[in-house]
């Protein structure tokens, strides 16, 4: 986070691209380096198994990890294609509820309630989110107070890490039963974080609030999503490679309706793009064109032959040709997608 395009290129993009050189069936690589972002695209030869390609890339990324900045771990994109965006929806506040459901609240609802349920659908490989603010708890140390108490920034980091964990302590037996013991110490809000003990001075606890400001904030962002002039949170469902886009989109639409029934008052999820509509319109267009074309052929044959029986016998080539085409598609495992139907 915070790297300029130059640092992202020098310290992340170049080492990764260099590590990926020489892969089996590799055609070329291309990359984009932006503020806080490094994206490397690896293009393989047509027909390369996607899981074989991903395995190679994952192995090379592990080798490149030693050359990357500490704490940085590149991740592979979802197992999807360029046409994998089959369903989009928005999570938005209803009229009059914008003050309660802020962009931060909408993003939190999407990340913790809506998105996990959509990701569990069969055929869905990823759900991307754009818009809103990712909620964070910001600790801003006061340098003067740290110096006054003879503390460092590392002392603050270590104290927060020690006091933000749940601990299991085994169990005790009583009357033939086991009672599990646990110590819940995970921080839930800013107030609990302020009470974290950093050190002791003269026998008195020195808490985080004494040396730093603790407030609720948000992650830095470089983009947003709006609808009708209001900020919303946009979710995009990606289809797993090889799945039926129409079936997966229908499952996503049905699941979104179920989720809507459980959302709090004042917020709703609305569909903004459904691949099912495109597929249905395409199939209807193909059906209409085939029917009109067949009727036109029969009419022309009748005019030329002046015999309806001869025209129908000759026109029988059309369904036979379609049957032969579909048989060939089945035998060669060519899917009835938008391109092949056209």
Share above pLDDT 70 across residues of the chain, in percent, rounded to a whole number: 99
Torsion over CA of 300, 302, 304 and 306, rounded to 10 degrees?
A: -160
pLDDT at 1 > cutoff 70:
yes
pLDDT at 115 > cutoff 90:
yes
Q: Among candidates 204, 208, 211, 221, which has minimal Cα distance to 135? A: 221
pLDDT at 333 > cutoff 90:
no
The owner of tokens 């130059």 is 6
In order of 247, 253, 274, the CA distances from 271 in angstroms are 16, 8, 7
Mean pLDDT calculated for residue range 179-203: 88
Confidence band, pLDDT 50/70/90 cuts, at residue 341: low
Provide CB contacts within 8 A for 24, sequence distance 6+: 56
pLDDT at 275 > cutoff 70:
yes
Q: Quick one: DSSP state of residue 45?
A: -
Residue 116: predicted pLDDT: 95
Residue 163 exposed, middle or buried by CB count within 10 Å (0-12, 13-18, 19+): middle
* Range of weakest confidence among 25-39, 112-126, 152-166, 244-258: 152-166
Residue 202: predicted pLDDT: 85
Residue 162: predicted pLDDT: 87
Is the model more confident about 51 or about 341?
51
Express each pLDDT in 296-314 by its tens digit: 888 888 888 888 888 888 8
The mean of the pLDDT values for the chain is: 90
Mean pLDDT calculated for residue range 123-140: 93
Residue 57: predicted pLDDT: 96
Residue 30: predicted pLDDT: 95
CA pair distance 62, 74, nearest whole angstrom: 9
Express each pLDDT in 12-67 by its tens digit: 999 999 999 999 999 999 999 999 899 999 999 998 999 999 999 999 999 998 89
* Range of weakest confidence among 17-21, 255-259, 315-319: 315-319
Express each pLDDT in 200-239 by its tens digit: 888 889 999 999 999 998 888 878 999 988 889 999 999 9
């Amino acid at each position: 986070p915070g790297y300029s395009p130059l640092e992202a290129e020098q310290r992340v993009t170049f080492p990764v691209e260099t590590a990926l050189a020489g892969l089996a069936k590799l055609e070329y690589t291309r990359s984009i380096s932006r503020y806080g972002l490094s994206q490397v695209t690896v293009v393989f030869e047509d027909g390369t198994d996607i899981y074989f390609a991903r395995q190679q890339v994952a192995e090379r990324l592990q080798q490149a990890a030693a050359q990357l900045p500490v704490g940085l771990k590149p991740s592979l994109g979802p197992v999807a294609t360029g046409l994998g965006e089959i369903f989009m929806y928005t999570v938005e506040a209803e009229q009059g509820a914008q003050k309660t459901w802020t962009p931060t609240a909408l993003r939190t609802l999407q990340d913790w309630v809506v998105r996990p349920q959509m990701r569990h659908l069969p055929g869905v490989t990823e759900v991307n989110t754009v818009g809103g603010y990712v909620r964070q708890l910001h600790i801003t140390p006061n340098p003067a107070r740290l110096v006054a108490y003879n503390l460092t920034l590392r002392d603050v980091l270590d104290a927060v890490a020690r006091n933000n964990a749940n601990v299991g302590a085994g169990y005790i037996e009583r009357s033939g039963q086991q009672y599990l013991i646990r110590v819940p110490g995970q921080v839930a809000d800013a107030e609990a974080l302020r009470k974290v003990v950093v050190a002791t001075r003269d026998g008195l606890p020195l808490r985080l609030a004494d040396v730093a400001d603790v407030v609720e904030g948000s992650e830095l962002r470089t983009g947003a999503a709006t609808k009708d002039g209001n900020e919303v949170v946009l979710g995009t469902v990606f289809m797993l490679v090889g799945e039926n886009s129409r079936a997966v989109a229908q499952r996503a639409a049905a699941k979104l309706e179920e989720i809507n029934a459980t959302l709090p008052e004042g917020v709703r999820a609305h569909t903004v793009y459904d691949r099912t509509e495109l597929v249905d319109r395409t199939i209807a267009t193909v059906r209409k064109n085939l029917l009109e074309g067949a009727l036109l052929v029969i009419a022309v044959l009748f005019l030329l032959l002046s015999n309806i029986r001869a025209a129908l016998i000759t026109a029988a080539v059309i369904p036979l040709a379609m049957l032969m085409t579909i048989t060939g598609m089945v035998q060669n495992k060519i899917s009835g997608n938008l391109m092949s139907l056209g």
